[in-house]
A = this chain, B = another copy of it.
Amino acid sequence: MPDLTALETAFETAGHRLTRPRRALAELIEARDGAFSAADLVADAQGRRLGIGRATIFRAIELLEEIGALERIDLPTGEHAYVPCGPAHHHHVVCRRCSRSVEIGDLGLGALARDIARKTGYRIDVHRLELFGLCPDCQLASVPA
């Protein structure tokens, strides 16, 4: 099975079938190169007349999220978006204009979380850091002066 993309491989190594709809969705996601919403994917699929059902798209997203190949981001608007990513703990910086995102490592956040746990008395299980702004390209595009 040569030429498997990262997401296609993710399906396989997690023990799930590599079906035609999943392959197509993996391609669509990878072609996007950034954060996307479920609606984006549905539109992409319809646009290419791939005959993929809406439910299948939501199921694929859910599965990729469980596998750890996709992570949900909550945009400042309240909408949900998803971004492809590796399994290690990390966070994302997302461009609010083109949706391209960069992963960042822990950068001391683990220590910060422990500090917060100590100060508040809470036992902290999950933390989430999301950053939004303009990527280098979009900065140039929006400040042409």
B123 touches A132 (CB 8 A): no
What is the chain B residue whose CB lies nearest that of A100?
B122
The CA-CA distance from A121 to B93 in the complex, in Å, is 10
Interchain Cβ contacts under 8 Å between A and B, 21 examples: A72-B78, A76-B126, A76-B128, A93-B116, A93-B124, A95-B122, A102-B122, A107-B115, A116-B131, A122-B131, A122-B134, A123-B134, A123-B139, A124-B131, A125-B133, A125-B134, A126-B131, A126-B133, A127-B130, A128-B130, A129-B129
- Determine whether A52 belongs to the interface, using a CB cutoff of 8 Å to chain B: no
Tell me the count of chain A residues lying within 8 A, CB to CB, of chain B.
37
Asked if residues A102 and B120 are in contact (CB atoms below 8 Å), the reply is yes
